[in-house]
């Protein structure tokens, strides 16, 4: 089956008892058992829930993985993945990863004896150089948030395969429609389903998709043992979201390209970060590794004052954290998503006070451009 068909049908079997074409929301904590040790495969809803299972089957199929486990948030999915490790293990991480990921690693997991090295993964050799005997995982985001740096997944997976290290990819920004990490050699894919997979800014969730049988067994154990599961209602919302993933992603991409081009030609915009622009230093890799460029764009306004004017001057775009919804969202990484990253580190990564990030929605692109234009012209 092709991607669009899978998106609509995987996990979405008609309900056996009623024929309902939409998977019911099984809002239950437990299940009646017919006798001692006799049940229908459902005992307690932390362990098994039919709505969650439908979502997990859908997401596993979309990423081309053997199994998926859904969690209460993207961070819960990342945290569960990290508990595949033990004290003394070492992890290599993309140096401008999502702020919340950095915070979890640096402020929480480090205290449990897991060591992290943050390297510029644009250059695969940096991973080779940082690898030690205790390295058990390479964790990358590509493109990164918010400066849109790419990591060559195929090149990195050659290193991780050779060394027997897991390669974990946070694929939130691209979705499986535009980027397929498992096919490029990754072992584990993570999503914040909050973003493009759900797509309507009305649910928080996360997912882990894996291929290795041992890791699948362990992740099933962790999901039940630690219990950070997604709710039935949120499972249903994401399952509804992925039915339109293809049409939404096509429009995010189409609008994203137009908005990036407009910004790159605007005299008051100093710099635009978008992998679809020829001026992006890794444009060639983007064309090779992704089948679209999506709707995430960052641009430099020159100062905090200018950024504030743009952020407060827009009327169609909404000032807010998050991304990947049908509505255009605009945000200020330095004080919002990346506030927990130390200032020198932010400046080194290009996350300046003047940087503005847009999650281009699927409104009429002329309205988005007109809106950004009137706000930027106030500078
Ligand atoms: C939002 C986000 C997360 C965290 O997901 P939550 O659902 O907010 O917990 C992780 N990685 C990336 C790239 C994100 O954008």
Task: For the chain, give every domain's residue range.
Answer: 3-243, 245-376
Instruction: Specify whether the CB–CB gap between 355 and 299 falls below 8 A.
Output: yes
136, 166, 195, 248: which one is catalytic? 195
Residue 164 Cα to chain centre, angstroms: 24
The average pLDDT across 212-226 equals 98
User: Is 233 strand, coil or helix?
Assistant: helix
Stated pTM of the model: 0.97
Query: In terms of C-beta density within 10 A (0-12 exposed, 13-18 middle, 19 or more buried), how is residue 265 classed?
Result: exposed
Predicted local distance difference test score (pLDDT) of residue 276:
98
Average pLDDT, the chain: 97
pLDDT band at residue 307 using 50, 70 and 90 as cut-offs: very high
- Look up 98 and say whether it is catalytic: yes
pLDDT band at residue 339 using 50, 70 and 90 as cut-offs: confident
Determine the distance separating the centroid of ligand 1 and the alpha carbon of 323, expressed in angstroms: 9
- pLDDT at residue 340 tops 90: no
Determine the distance separating the centroid of ligand 1 and the alpha carbon of 192, expressed in angstroms: 5
User: How far is Cα 245 from Cα 69, in angstroms, rounded to an integer?
Assistant: 19
**Would you state the structure tokens that stand for residue 315, as one six-digit string?**
């009327």
Determine the distance separating the centroid of ligand 1 and the alpha carbon of 191, expressed in angstroms: 7
The average pLDDT across 286-293 equals 98
Q: Mutation test of ligand 1: which of 70, 72, 74, 96 has the most ligand atoms closer than 8 Å to its C-beta?
A: 74
Axis-axis angle for helices 74-82, 213-226 (nearest 10): 120
Determine the distance separating the centroid of ligand 1 and the alpha carbon of 35, expressed in angstroms: 43
Q: 3-243: what fold?
A: 3.40.640
User: How far is Cα 187 from Cα 349, in angstroms, rounded to an integer?
Assistant: 27
pLDDT band at residue 232 using 50, 70 and 90 as cut-offs: very high
Q: Mutation test of ligand 1: which of 75, 146, 228, 333 has the most ligand atoms closer than 8 Å to its C-beta?
A: 75
For the domain spanning 245-376, the CATH number is 3.90.1150.10
**Would you state the structure tokens that stand for residue 312, as one six-digit string?**
């407060």
- Look up 271 and say whether it is catalytic: no
Q: Distances in Å between the alpha carbon of 137 and those of 59, 89, 129, 166, 214? A: 23, 8, 14, 5, 15
Q: Which atom of ligand 1 approaches the CA of 193 most closely?
A: 7
Axis-axis angle for helices 232-243, 245-265 (nearest 10): 70
Axis-axis angle for helices 365-376, 304-313 (nearest 10): 140
- Look up 46 and say whether it is catalytic: yes
Tokens 């074409």 correspond to what residue?
21
Predicted local distance difference test score (pLDDT) of residue 209:
99
pLDDT band at residue 68 using 50, 70 and 90 as cut-offs: very high
pLDDT tens digits for range 134-192: 999 999 999 998 999 999 999 999 999 999 999 999 999 999 999 999 999 999 999 99
User: How far is Cα 118 from Cα 127, in angstroms, rounded to an integer?
Assistant: 9
pLDDT band at residue 341 using 50, 70 and 90 as cut-offs: confident
- Look up 274 and say whether it is catalytic: no
Name every protein residue with a CB atom under 6 angstroms from any ligand 1 atom.
Answer: 73-75, 98, 100-101, 141, 145, 170, 172-173, 192, 194-195, 204, 206
Question: How many CA atoms lie within 13 Å of 316's alpha carbon, on the beta-carbon side?
Answer: 21
The CA angle 121-126-131, to the nearest 5 degrees, is: 110
């Amino acid at each position: 089956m092709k991607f669009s068909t899978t998106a609509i049908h995987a996990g979405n079997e008609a309900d056996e008892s009623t024929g309902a074409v939409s998977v019911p929301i099984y809002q239950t904590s437990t299940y009646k058992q017919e006798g001692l040790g006799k049940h229908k495969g459902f005992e307690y809803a932390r362990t098994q829930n039919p709505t969650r299972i439908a979502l997990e089957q859908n997401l596993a199929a979309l990423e081309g993985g053997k199994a998926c486990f859904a969690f209460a948030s993207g961070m819960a999915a990342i945290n569960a993945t990290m508990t595949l490790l033990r004290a003394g293990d070492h992890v290599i991480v993309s140096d401008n990863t999502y702020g919340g990921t950095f915070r979890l690693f640096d402020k929480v997991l480090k205290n449990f004896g897991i060591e992290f090295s943050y390297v510029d993964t644009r250059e695969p050799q940096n991973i080779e150089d940082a690898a030690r005997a205790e390295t058990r995982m390479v964790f990358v985001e590509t493109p990164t948030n918010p400066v849109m740096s790419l990591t060559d997944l195929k090149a990195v997976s050659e290193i991780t395969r050779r060394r027997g290290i897991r390669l974990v990819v946070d694929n939130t920004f691209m979705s499986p429609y535009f980027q397929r990490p498992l096919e490029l050699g990754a072992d584990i894919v993570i999503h914040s389903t909050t973003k493009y997979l759900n797509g309507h800014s009305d649910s928080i969730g996360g997912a882990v998709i894996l291929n290795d049988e041992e890791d699948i067994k362990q992740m099933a154990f962790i999901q039940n043992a630690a219990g950070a599961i997604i709710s039935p209602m949120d499972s249903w919302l994401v399952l509804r979201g992925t039915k339109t993933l293809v049409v939404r992603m096509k429009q995010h991409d189409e609008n994203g390209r137009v908005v990036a081009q407009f910004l790159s030609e605007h005299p008051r915009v100093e710099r635009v970060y978008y992998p679809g622009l020829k001026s992006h230093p890794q444009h060639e890799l983007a064309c090779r590794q992704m089948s679209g460029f999506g709707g995430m764009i960052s641009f430099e306004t020159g100062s905090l004052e200018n950024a504030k004017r743009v952020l407060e001057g827009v009327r169609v775009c909404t000032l807010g954290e998050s991304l990947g919804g049908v509505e255009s969202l605009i945000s200020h990484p330095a004080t919002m998503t990346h506030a927990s990253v130390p200032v020198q580190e932010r400046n080194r990564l290009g996350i300046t006070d003047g940087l503005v990030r847009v999650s281009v929605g699927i409104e009429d692109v002329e309205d988005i451009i007109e809106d950004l234009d009137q706000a930027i012209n106030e500078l």
